[in-house]
Amino acid sequence: MSRNELVLSGVIATRDLLRYTPAGLPVLSFVLQHESEQLEAGQTFKAQLDMTVSVLGEVAVQLDRLGPGTRIMLKGFLAKKSRNSRQFVMRAEQFKLIDGE
């Protein structure tokens, strides 16, 4: 079985307005800024990235209450931004607020 799981923490940098699919499903997109120190080949590496995140359903409605600057941890998977795109996004299915790290 193939696996595609991602857990990523960071700060909500920018976000779009909550919208709805033609089927009426809530969708929220935002950019999560991540910074961490990782150990790679025995050396410390400072990882920095901006990840585009897409959330559907009730989780999108819950995240819509949060604004830029909010620290969160997300759990989800990676997928193409759209069917014909070469770009990828994180599709988040769960989140929790972080009270500092």
- Show me where the domains of the chain are located: 6-97
73 pLDDT band, cuts 50/70/90, is very high
Measured from the Cβ of residue 28, the count of other Cβ atoms closer than 10 Å reads 22
In whole angstroms, give the CA distance from residue 57 to residue 50.
23
pLDDT the model gives residue 100: 58
pLDDT tens by residue, 28-69: 999 999 999 999 999 999 999 999 999 999 999 999 999 999
Asked if the model's pLDDT at residue 94 lies above 80, the reply is yes
Asked if the model's pLDDT at residue 101 lies above 70, the reply is no
In whole angstroms, give the CA distance from residue 100 to residue 28.
24
pLDDT the model gives residue 99: 83
Asked if the model's pLDDT at residue 17 lies above 70, the reply is yes
Class of domain 6-97: mainly beta
